[in-house]
Structure 1
């Protein structure tokens, strides 16, 4: 491996080591700031995916979009139904297909979480140097492209 390859490996490892803890800390801190119940990260991701499609989403489509097994999504949706965060609606006449929808409670919690997360980050960014804020802003497009590169294509 060349020097560039070694550097790429080092960057990849640092990103991997820091992204998960960063996301968990942001979730935990935002929940505390907004006094929200401890909704698991996976459920927040389901709510975020469902909020993008007000017409509802089939569980199989939700699984594909999130890159999760259908059984995992089924378990998440069941738990979220019991918590009043989602509802299933029967589609078609035979009753075998359903779509999943956010409840007003989930929509409000997601909005509250997003506002709290933004406030937490704004406060933290304000304590950083101008150079750090500039570097983070400059890195965002690259992080978005990196996210695209690691996202598997939809299953057919």
Structure 2
């Protein structure tokens, strides 16, 4: 499954999607089992991680990061505020806008999720061949660039290249 000269193979694309979906699904399932907290819908979890990575983010920016409509993110925010996992504070620069921050309860939950996920994947990586570990590490920058390219293409579908 080798690709060169900008060509892509349906087989490579399919395998990449299968692998990333499988890792995500297993990680999510095993993390939920390892962490003794009530489960959250995936969209709520994703929003919590966005806020954890960008404290003080606004709803519009969170919607963009999640590739969701603003009203959908507003609904998620309301649910997470009600659950005691998110705080919505007025933006000092624009009182009509809100800034999102995690509660202590959410920070603890995210720390537990991250620890469980790191343990699961870390153990698997520890058992992998050194060559495979090196190849996975070497592929990370290219995978990050691929994600950035897909995000850019989705944001501006008419752009060239």
Whether TM exceeds 0.5 here: the answer is yes
Which residue of structure 1 lines up, in the alignment, with residue 146 of structure 2? Answer: 146
- Superposed CA RMSD in Å reads 2.6
Which residue of structure 2 lines up, in the alignment, with residue 75 of structure 1? Answer: 75
Which residue of structure 2 lines up, in the alignment, with residue 51 of structure 1? Answer: 52
Which residue of structure 1 lines up, in the alignment, with residue 131 of structure 2? Answer: 131
Q: Which runs of 5+ in 1 are unaligned?
A: none
Structure 1 contact 81–87 (Cα < 8 Å) conserved: yes
Which residue of structure 1 lines up, in the alignment, with residue 12 of structure 2? Answer: 11
Structure 1 contact 36–113 (Cα < 8 Å) conserved: no
Q: What TM-score results when the alignment is normalised by the length of structure 1? A: 0.82
Which residue of structure 1 lines up, in the alignment, with residue 104 of structure 2? Answer: 104
**1:136–1:71 distance in 2 versus 1, CA, 3 Å:** same
SS of 1:133 mapped into structure 2: helix
SS of 1:89 mapped into structure 2: strand
Q: What TM-score results when the alignment is normalised by the length of structure 2? A: 0.80
Which residue of structure 2 lines up, in the alignment, with residue 20 of structure 1? Answer: 21
Shift of 1:94: 8.7
- Distance in 2, Cα, partners of 1:94 & 1:111: 31
- Distance in 2, Cα, partners of 1:7 & 1:60: 34
